Amino acid sequence: MTTLSKGNLFDPELVSDLINKVKGKSSLAVLSQQVPIPFNGQKEFTFTMDSEIDVVAENGKKTHGGVSIEPLTIIPIKVEYGARVSDEFLLASDEEKISIIKSFNDGYAKKLAKGLDLMAMHGVNPRSGLASAVIGTNHFDNRVTQNVTYTSATPDDNIEAAVAMIQASGGVISGMAMSPTFSAALAAYKVNNVKQFPELAWGANPGSINGIKNDINATVSAYNNDLVILGDFADSFKWGYAKQIPLEVIKYGDPDNSGQDLKGYNQVYLRSETYLGWGIMDAESFAIVKGV
């Protein structure tokens, strides 16, 4: 039976550093709102007024406008990452332990950021690359049905078509996550032999295009031929995490089911767990440009 040492928590500085790194490496975190998510989840409501305001004459009759409320529960799911290190970690000075933990924190932040995109965009378990039953249908590839088929000759037209779909559904566009493939196509796109998007040349990631917030990331195209996801990230997508982010130092057993006992191999196991939750508040406020 695996025996664990007491669970530790990243100190506040490391927690802040971890989440800041995630924000810098996840397109969804860059483009959307982060909200605190309790362990047992939270319910968000989409509040819609069904009619327009009504002009009322003096002594005139007032009429019912109507309100629609749609609930969406954001449930956090647990993700984890672990690694074996030499048990010399336990004998190291405090300064050396801090250095190792910071390095682990940095690596974990990168994996967590990438994982958030892969899970919320494509519904996969990042490690296996397979559809996750835990995530189910709570991801863009399932929820978003407004799709544009990519045409390489006119990539700008693809964006215009996606924008038109969203606007026809009553939505707005606050940002877009773009794959490197699509970014390269826009960078090379010319009209009358003049490049239309020179700010994208040489693989640049300018942060905005034509006034729209933008992030370029390979996670967009990792699955399902997605090239661009665009829409109302500001108000129609939310994500968050539980602030308690434990880091455990495991001294005994076989916690990663590798068949190798830690003590027998003079190792300890570092494991970090995070509870992440996200929700697509209004799927019609998004559209996806898909490759053929």
- pLDDT tens, 240-281? 887 777 888 899 999 999 999 999 999 999 998 888 999 998
d(CA 57, CA 47) in angstroms, rounded, equals 28
Tell me the range of 3-12, 55-64, 120-129 where mean pLDDT is highest. 120-129
Higher pLDDT among residues 16 and 180, named by residue: 180
Domains, the chain: 8-47+71-290 (3.90.1690)
What pLDDT is recorded for position 38?
66
Residue 43, phi then psi, degrees to nearest 5? -100, 125
In the predicted model, what is the mean pLDDT of residues 51-73? 66
Higher pLDDT among residues 76 and 231, named by residue: 231
Higher pLDDT among residues 157 and 244, named by residue: 157
Query: At which residue do the structure tokens 């978003």 appear?
Result: 144
Structure tokens at 249: 């130092």
pLDDT beyond 90 at 87: no
What pLDDT is recorded for position 4?
37
43 band by pLDDT with thresholds 50, 70 and 90: low
- Could you tell me how far CA 105 lies from the centroid of its own chain? 18
What pLDDT is recorded for position 89?
83
- Mean pLDDT of the chain, nearest integer: 86
Structure tokens at 157: 């037209």
Structure tokens at 35: 């909200």
Query: At which residue do the structure tokens 């989409």 appear?
Result: 46
202 contact partners, CB below 8 Å, separation of at least 6: 187
47 band by pLDDT with thresholds 50, 70 and 90: low
Higher pLDDT among residues 277 and 20, named by residue: 277
3 band by pLDDT with thresholds 50, 70 and 90: very low
What pLDDT is recorded for position 219?
96
Higher pLDDT among residues 275 and 63, named by residue: 275
Q: What is the pLDDT of residues 130-144, one digit of tens each?
A: 999 999 999 999 999
In the predicted model, what is the mean pLDDT of residues 99-112? 87
72-90 burial string, b = 16+ CB within 10 Å, else e? eebbbbebebeebeebeee
pLDDT beyond 80 at 44: no
Structure tokens at 71: 């609930």
What percentage of the chain has pLDDT greater than the value 90?
59
pLDDT-wise least confident of 9-13, 51-55, 158-162, 269-273:
51-55
pLDDT beyond 90 at 40: no
How many helices, marked H, and strands, marked E, lie in the chain?
Answer: 8, 16
Query: At which residue do the structure tokens 């990042």 appear?
Result: 126
